[in-house]
Amino acid sequence: MRAITKSSYLSKRAMSGLTSCWDWVCHFATYVMHRAWLLEIAFLLCAASFFALLWWTSRIADTPVSQYIQTTWAILPVLAVTNALPMLGVSVFLGRYTISDKPSEALAGLSALVRGDFNRIYGHPRANPFRRRAVYRATLRRAKTGAFLFEENGEPLYTIRPYWDGIWFFGSSAYVKNQRAERSILYPTHELLFCAIVMLRIVAVLRASGSYSLGRRGRREQGSQGSYWFLEDFVKTQKLLTPPIRRINIHDAQRIIYHAIDSTHYMTEELQAHEGAMVRDERRDTMFIHYMCDYIIWMDFFHNKLMECRVAFVRRRIAIEKLQPYFEKTMGGYQAAHEGVINLRTANLVRMVTAERIHQVKLGTIIPILTTAGALLTYICLQPLAYGLFDHWYARTVAGVAYVIAATSIGMNLAFGVWLLISAPQSRRADLMY
């Protein structure tokens, strides 16, 4: 019985490993198919090696130079025609999408939503409890624990619900038994901390994607000193954000929440910098809108979890009906702004995918244009000089180089044209989680 159990366990592990390998292969194939320049580099290496081997092993190199000149010029019209095909395809493809005005509209709409809930997002800490560190410090202290546990026996104690309330921490009976705080206070505090972690992860992804404006290439023309102080301190906190989350002590939890509070100021200044930019990059703008929408959504969850923690603490002494005016004043524009950001994020997804496709098309044209230009220059400029100034062996070497470049360019132009006709493979859905 024990042997059967052990064999079944090993078979499950083997199947799990095969599934992981297959998922990795599918993900890698999707990544490569989205990027024409990777396929072109692979094609360039293979085709150039093949045509070079074909040249030196065939009798073309033994042909007299006077006869070879007549045959080589026949390649030029073919090269010109094949180069025109992908250029025409690029023009048609780029002409289908006119989205230069859409990111500007989305940035203006996003900024209007943020300003519509001014006090909750921009308000001074004296009038805004969501910016007041003492409020969060008191919330962590009421949890009465030295560490926040998110995993027990290898199993997570929470469920991600990004399209509802962010996270549901369900814990376990053994975990609650060892804690001094009540469950109604302890669990929302875990959820508050998790939302802060996700907010900072989004900032990290934004910085890694290159779609930011503040601190770009060491320039400090935009943004306040507070944003740059946040960025300097944020580097020290990133190691705490690496998944999976298992256990966070109280001191690290306080650092994470404080950085999440400060990140709101930085992200709003990023929004202002993108909105006022004079030069537009559709790909960078749509990526920033995507990350900014995710940040605001999780910031709303973060603020909502703070209110849950405060309600759980005061409801033991004050009737919930008496707190209703306070909730309406504090979270007045929460629901409208939250729904508006979700709708804006959904509309921006199509624009982001389109801008990414256009960016890849632009990158994909670089190598075919360079190789075609190199082949034409070799045929028109280098070969006549080689025939007139050097011996026959060197002239044939130059002719071989020109032949390899031209043949590779013809094949690469055709391959790029086929890539344009093939629809992009389906990629993973961009969930509200990082």
Min mean pLDDT across 223-227, 315-319, 320-324 is at 320-324
User: pLDDT tier at 10 (50, 70, 90 boundaries)?
Assistant: very low
* 267 and 414 both lie in a single domain: no
**Within 10 A of 333 (CB to CB), how many other CB atoms are there?**
15
* 298 and 156 both lie in a single domain: yes
Residue 402 located in a structural domain: yes
> Is 228 exposed, middle or buried, given 0-12, 13-18 or 19+ CB atoms closer than 10 A?
middle
Residue 1 located in a structural domain: no
Residue 341 located in a structural domain: no
* 132 and 248 both lie in a single domain: yes
* 161 and 216 both lie in a single domain: yes
pTM equals 0.78
Residue 151: phi, psi to the nearest 5? -145, 140
Asked, as a colleague might, if the bond just before 103 is cis with ω within 30 of 0, I would say no
DSSP code of residue 331: T
Place of tokens 């998110």: 150
User: pLDDT tier at 2 (50, 70, 90 boundaries)?
Assistant: very low
Residue 28 located in a structural domain: no
User: How high is the pLDDT of residue 212?
Assistant: 87
* 135 and 204 both lie in a single domain: yes
| Mean pLDDT computed over 384-405 | 67
Looking at the 3D structure of the chain, how many domains does it have? 2
* 322 and 175 both lie in a single domain: yes
Give the range of the structural domain holding residue 177, as residue numbers without chain letter.
117-332
| Mean pLDDT computed over 405-434 | 72
Residue 69 located in a structural domain: yes
Residue 177 located in a structural domain: yes
| Mean pLDDT computed over 28-45 | 74
* 141 and 231 both lie in a single domain: yes
* 124 and 170 both lie in a single domain: yes
* 363 and 251 both lie in a single domain: no
Side chain identity, residue 340:
G
H or E stretch at 155: strand 155-156
| Mean pLDDT computed over 78-83 | 71
Distance from first CA to last CA of the chain, Å, rounded? 43
* 136 and 223 both lie in a single domain: yes
* 210 and 166 both lie in a single domain: yes
* 211 and 314 both lie in a single domain: yes
Residue 339 located in a structural domain: no
